[in-house]
Structure 1
Amino acid sequence: MSTKHTLSVLVENKPGVLARISALFSRRGFNIDSLAVGPTENDEVSRMTVVVDVDLLPLEQVTKQLNKLVEVLKVVELDPLASVNSQVVLVKVRADATSRSGILETAQMFKAKIVDATAEAIVLQAVGNADKLNSMLEILEPHGIKELVQSGVVAIGRGPRSITDRSRH
């Protein structure tokens, strides 16, 4: 039975690293559900958060292969109970005079920001975990979602320890 796993991968901040890592997943036939990459507190290091839906044994094999890549400094699977994760959603919702108040109530309920509004549509920005964002989208669906864009998941371990405390260099 496959399940979603969140990997936090510290890599050297160099061109081509993202392509090499995504190719590794592709060669194994794994679909990446979410991928977010950005700089860390160290300019020479980037952090990739990869969410993949795989069995545990193939995940161990991919993790070992990731660790063999020269540019990979550290790979950690984040435990859902010992980590915090979040993503951003921008959603454009059809909004006429009759539906506008319901959309605004939904935005307030989910602490979403109104980032654009016209006579015909409202664009909301919401931040949170997948469950929260999916719940908001379900409520907005009857109003007519015109467009939707989501960032990848970003995640970090809870508590005082840091993935960088245990990196290879």
Structure 2
Amino acid sequence: MEQIIAQLDRLVPVHKVVDLTVQGAHVERELALVKVVGTGEQRIEALRLAEVYRARVVDATVSSFVFEVTGSIEKIDKFTELMAEVGLVEVARTGIAAIARGREAA
């Protein structure tokens, strides 16, 4: 962990690195853009899964969708696993963003 913190501190524009797992309660989320290609029943199933996982359609064509999904790593992993069965072609993930809970600033 110390090596990771040291490497991140050298990046620009990183202003501060804090290990929130040590500090206590925190909220963490990840964002993914998921491209799915398909027609007919595959397209309908992709929309159903997106609704269940609260994914938003951010782009749509007659043969593809790009979904935006946020949440835990496990949620995004499961969403992409299910989308693979209906036509997943590409995934872009941000990595985890986190912030400490409560009134205090990290």
Q: What's the C-alpha RMSD, in Å, of the aligned pairs? A: 2.5
Segment of structure 1 superposing worse, 143-152 or 133-142: 143-152
In proportion to residue count, which structure has more strand? 1
Aligned to 2:90: 147
Q: Does 1:138 align with 2:81?
A: yes
Amino acid of the structure 1 residue aligned with 2:72:
N
Counterpart-to-counterpart distance in 1, 2:76 and 2:15:
32
TM score, norm. by length of structure 1: 0.53
Deviating beyond 2 angstroms after TM superposition, the runs of 4 or more aligned structure 1 residues are: 59-63, 71-75
- Cα pair distance change 1:100/1:79, threshold 3 Å: same
Q: Does 1:84 align with 2:27?
A: yes
* 1:126 matched to 2:45: no
Alpha-carbon displacement from aligned partner over 1:78-137 (angstroms, at most 9, x marks no partner):
118611111211111012012111111111011100111122111111111211111111
**Between Structure 1 and Structure 2, whose CA radius of gyration is higher?**
1
- Where does structure 2 lack aligned partners over 5 or more consecutive residues? none
Equivalent in 17, 20, 27 of residue 75 of structure 1: 17
**What percentage of aligned pairs have identical amino acids?**
31
Kindly state the Cα deviation for residue 60 of structure 1 after the two structures are TM-superposed.
3.3
How many pairs align? 102
